[in-house]
Amino acid sequence: MGLKDLQPGNNRARGAMFVGVVLMVICLGVLIFSLNTGTIKLSPMQVLQTLFGFGTAKEETVLFDYRMPRILITMLAGIGLGVSGAILQGVFRNPLADPGVVGLNAGSAVGLIVFVSFFQSMEQMSALLIPLFTFCGAMLTALLIGVLAYERGQNLQPTRVILVGIAVAAGFSALTLYLSLRLDSETYTFAARWLVGNIWGRDWIHVFALLPWIIGFGTYALLQARTLNALGLGDGTIVSIGVSLNRKRIGLLVAAVSLSSASVAMAGGIGFIGFVAPHLARRLVGSSHRHVIPISGMIGVVILVLADTAGRSLFLPSLIPAGVLVAGIGAPYFLYLLLRSSK
């Protein structure tokens, strides 16, 4: 292999690095814009002064007790949903795969409803249990989909998994509605807002509850980038080169379930980010998951933080849940790709 053979890969790596730097700058700009936005106005200079410890007591309260935790929750959830979508699309070799489409978000919703049915407080240490409950709900959904989509003598077929996932999601959504009707009025109001994608995690305890899930499983996904690339070659090719297909696929699916369930646990039932972010990432940096995974996470951050900020500021005095705005963008894009793929 000569020097010229290495150049295309180097060019792609440099291109991905450039895109990553641009997205980091955009993320920083979106973060500063979001910190400036709210019912209590803070100028960019006031934000910077407060961040460096020179703000007033009121400015510190607004920034550190209210806005910063919410924005960090939004950023972490955007990363989790974007990376989860990249994993699912890589594992199933289907560009229409998404945590919401395959039913994981519906399973997470059941887990959350079960949680609020038994725990009156969602603050302090009990908040640490919320991602665990949503994970159990999403994992139950994944297992059910696997059982229903399995055919003896064959590996899981991506198209069959997605079709079964859509049906299972409908069933779990009905179960969620039934359970939510049995809640008291205050808890039902919270559940209804959660289901439409309202960012509710606003305390530091919620940040600490979500952070280890995103760091741990996000790192695992990045380390498995080569496996995801291999999965794109087809099952027969993977087995022939000595890759343990089922074990690798299960590990990646657990990571995708963990990232999506923990994210929606604190950010609400937000869909389409896991669908849109990987698509845009592949258009920007190509098909290598070594680049697609981090870029998908960054795009998820930009989409979700912008949606949450717009929902809090552009429609005052009404507040529009971030999930509604994301769906308004993602649903038409989903239909466009669906129609394009059917031609």
Q: Are the CB atoms for 122 and 138 separated by under 8 Å?
A: no
142-156, 164-178, 191-205, 257-271: least confidently modelled range: 142-156
Task: State in Å, rounded, how far the first CA of the chain is from the last one.
Answer: 40
The residue among 323, 302, 252 whose CA lies nearest residue 109 is: 323
Q: Is the four-CA dihedral 231, 233, 237, 241 of positive or negative sign?
A: negative
Q: Which pLDDT score, from 0 to 100, does residue 303 have?
A: 92
* 196: helix, strand or coil: coil
How many residues are recorded in the chain?
A: 343
DSSP 304-341: HHHHHHHHHHTTTTS---HHHHHHHHHHHHHHHHHHHH
Q: Are the CB atoms for 18 and 294 separated by under 8 Å?
A: no
> Per-residue pLDDT for 265 more than 80?
yes
Q: Which pLDDT score, from 0 to 100, does residue 103 have?
A: 85
CA-CA distance, 154 to 147, in Å (whole number)? Answer: 13
Q: Which pLDDT score, from 0 to 100, does residue 198 have?
A: 83
Share of the chain above pLDDT 70, in %: 87
**Phi and psi at residue 234, to the nearest 5°:** 105, 150
Instruction: Give the pair of three-digit tokens for residue 289.
Output: 């998951």
H helices of 98-149, in order, are: 104-118, 130-149
**Between 333 and 259, whose confidence is greater?**
259
Instruction: Give the pair of three-digit tokens for residue 257.
Output: 């379930």
Per-residue confidence at 120, pLDDT binned at 50, 70, 90? low
> Per-residue pLDDT for 242 more than 60?
no
Q: How far is CA 79 from CA 149, 162, 221, in A?
A: 29, 23, 12
Q: Which pLDDT score, from 0 to 100, does residue 342 have?
A: 56
> Per-residue pLDDT for 1 more than 60?
no
Per-residue confidence at 96, pLDDT binned at 50, 70, 90? confident
Q: Which pLDDT score, from 0 to 100, does residue 116 have?
A: 84
**What superfamily in CATH does domain 16-342 come from?**
ABC transporter involved in vitamin B12 uptake, BtuC (1.10.3470.10)
Q: Are the CB atoms for 51 and 276 separated by under 8 Å?
A: no
Please report, for the chain, the start and end positions of each structural domain, with discontinuous segments joined by +.
16-342
Q: Which pLDDT score, from 0 to 100, does residue 125 have?
A: 65
CA-CA distance, 253 to 245, in Å (whole number)? Answer: 12
Instruction: Give the pair of three-digit tokens for residue 310.
Output: 């717009």
CA-CA distance, 73 to 290, in Å (whole number)? Answer: 25
**Mean model confidence pLDDT for the chain:** 82
Q: What is the mean pLDDT of residues 235-242?
A: 56
Q: What is the mean pLDDT of residues 218-227?
A: 92
> Per-residue pLDDT for 2 more than 50?
no
